[in-house]
A and B are shown apart, each in its own frame.
Chain A
Amino acid sequence: NAGVTQTPKFQVLKTGQSMTLQCAQDMNHEYMSWYRQDPGMGLRLIHYSVGAGITDQGEVPNGYNVSRSTTEDFPLRLLSAAPSQTSVYFCASSLSGLGPGPFFGPGTRLTVL
C-alpha cells in the first residue's frame, strides 16, 4: 500500500489564483480530512469527510472547498489564494472515526505571494 499520497509537494501561487491540492489513499478508509500546519498553531482541521459524497467543515474552512466523489480521493480547492493561506497542508485518513489514526500524507508546502 502506498498509504496517503499528496501532490504537489511544493507550490507557489500569486494572490487571487486558484488551485487544487490532490490527496489519495489506497487503504479503503472511509474518513478523510485536511489539516493545515502553521508555526505555533499546531494542526488545524480545514474540512473532513466521513464517506463518499459527505463532507463537513472543520475549524478553519474559509477560503477552501472540498468534494468526495470516490472513497480514494479527497481534493482540496483554494478558490482565490491569499497570503494567509501560506502553510503546510496535510491530508489524513482513517478507517472510521473511532481510530486508530488518522494516518497522514507527506504534505504540500504552499506559498502565496
Chain B
Amino acid sequence: GENVEQHPSTLSVQEGDSAVIKCTYSDSASNYFPWYKQELGKGPQLIIDIRSNVGEKKDQRIAVTLNKTAKHFSLHITETQPEDSAVYFCAAKGWRGLTGGGNKLTFGTGTQLKVEL
C-alpha cells in the first residue's frame, strides 16, 4: 500500500521567516496531494492541494510543490505569523483499483510548527 513520510516532526521558526515541510510517497498511482492544518482541539482543515498534472500551486502565503519523478511534495509558508502555529499533515490519494483500496487517502504523521515572536 501507499506509504507517506513527513519531515520534520517539529519545526520552530521566527515570525516573518519561511517554513518548509516535506513529504515523500511510495505509490506512483497517487495523483492528489492535500495539506491539512490542525489547531489544538479542532479537526484538520484543508488548506491547499495539488494534483499530479501540476508542479506548483500558490495561495497567498502558502504554496505546494510536487516532484512526481522523485515522489515528493512540499508545503511552503512565507512570512510566518503566530497564527500559523499548528500541526500540519500531508496526504496522498490515488486510484488503486477495487482490490487495492480504491481512493483511500494516506496521511503523513504530522509536523508541529511553532512560530515564535
Residues of chain A at the chain B interface (Cβ within 8 Å): 4, 31, 40-43, 45, 48, 50, 56, 58, 90, 97-107
B28-78 contacts to A (CB < 8 Å): 32, 34, 36, 42-46, 49, 51
Pick from B36, B89, B93, B110: contact of A99, CB below 8 A.
B93
Pick from A41, A58, A104: contact of B43, CB below 8 A.
A104
B102 CB within 8 Å of chain A: yes
Q: A90 with B51: in contact, given A42-B107, A42-B108, A45-B104 (CB under 8 Å)?
A: no
Mask: chain B, 98-111; 1 = CB below 8 Å from A; 0 = not: 00001111011110
- Please indicate the chain A residues that have their CB under 8 angstroms from the CB of B105 in the complex: 45, 102
- Please indicate the chain B residues that have their CB under 8 angstroms from the CB of A43 in the complex: 44, 89, 107
**Extra inter-chain contacts (12) besides given A56-B102, A98-B32, A104-B43, CB under 8 Å:** A41-B109, A42-B107, A43-B89, A48-B104, A58-B104, A97-B95, A97-B103, A99-B49, A99-B51, A99-B93, A104-B36, A104-B45
**A-B interface, 5 closest residue pairs, ranked by CB to CB distance from nearest:** A97-B103, A104-B43, A99-B32, A42-B109, A43-B107
Give chain A nearest CB distance to B52 CB in angstroms: 11
Asked if A105 and B43 sit within 8 Å, CB to CB, the answer is: yes
Distance between Cα atoms of A99 and B48 in the complex (Å): 12
Asked if B102 and A97 sit within 8 Å, CB to CB, the answer is: yes
Asked if A90 and B43 sit within 8 Å, CB to CB, the answer is: yes
Closest to A43 in B: B107
Distance between Cα atoms of A43 and B105 in the complex (Å): 10
Distance between Cα atoms of A46 and B104 in the complex (Å): 11
- Please indicate the chain B residues that have their CB under 8 angstroms from the CB of A40 in the complex: 109
Distance between Cα atoms of A68 and B7 in the complex (Å): 37
